[in-house]
Structures are given as structure tokens and as C-alpha cells.
């Protein structure tokens, strides 16, 4: 995406602070090289966590925007950020909301 595209631009601190309203279950992880939106999702077992991970993967592939997903028994952690922008963009916010929709539908 073009750097002039607002979806590709890293969100300002003020915008990140407002995220709590629209993404109450997500946190901003500012450790490391870039800030990330992160959330842990819990499930009854590994199979449910894996099915959720696969659904998120399908949406990510269709959007050509891929998160870091950590999967273990009964839990999946999803981190969204944009490498090209060096942090969280509007696209990451949109994908986090889509991830929440997938979780709510299960």
C-alpha cells in the first residue's frame, strides 16, 4: 500500500488510546520493534483453538494481511501490526475487529 494511504500509516498515540473503546478486549503491546494489537482467546480444547486459528488464517489470507498467531491447548493469541508501517495501522484495527467477529460466531 502507498504510504499516503491512511490504512497503511501507523496510528498516532492518541488514536491508539481511543482503541480501548472499539476494541475493549485487545491491548497494545509496545515491547519490541513495533507496537502490536494483541489478544488471547480461550477455548474448551485444542481442537476449538485450532479451528479458530484456521478461520482467522483464511480471513488473513484473503486480506493479504497476516497476524502472528500462537496456538496452544485451549488458547490462541493473535497479534496484529503492519511491518511496512512499523506499528499498528487502521488495517490492523479492522482485522482485530474481524477476529473478534470470528470468535463471537463460534
- pLDDT per residue over 54-101, tens digit each? 999 999 999 999 999 999 999 999 999 998 888 999 999 999 999 999
| Residue 20: CB atoms within 10 Å | 12
pLDDT at position 19 is: 73
Q: Provide the residue ranges of all domains of the chain, joining segments of one domain with +.
A: 13-105
pLDDT at position 71 is: 98
- Residue 12 DSSP symbol: P
H or E element: which one contains 64? Answer: none
CATH architecture, domain defined by 13-105: 2-Layer Sandwich (3.30)
Identify the burial level of 22 via C-beta atoms within 10 angstroms of its C-beta, where 0-12 means exposed, 13-18 middle and 19 or more buried.
exposed
Strands 36-42 and 27-29, by their bridges, are antiparallel
Amino acid at each position: 500500500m502507498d504510504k499516503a494511504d491512511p490504512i497503511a500509516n501507523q496510528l498516532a498515540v492518541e488514536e491508539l488510546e481511543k482503541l480501548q473503546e472499539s476494541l475493549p478486549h485487545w491491548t497494545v503491546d509496545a515491547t519490541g520493534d513495533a507496537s502490536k494489537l494483541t489478544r488471547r482467546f480461550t477455548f474448551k480444547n485444542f481442537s476449538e483453538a485450532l479451528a479458530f486459528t484456521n478461520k482467522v488464517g483464511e480471513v488473513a489470507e484473503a486480506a493479504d494481511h497476516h497476524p502472528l498467531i500462537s496456538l496452544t491447548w485451549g488458547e490462541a493469541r493473535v497479534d496484529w501490526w503492519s511491518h511496512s508501517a512499523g506499528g499498528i495501522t487502521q488495517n490492523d484495527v479492522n482485522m482485530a475487529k474481524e477476529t473478534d467477529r470470528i470468535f463471537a460466531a463460534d
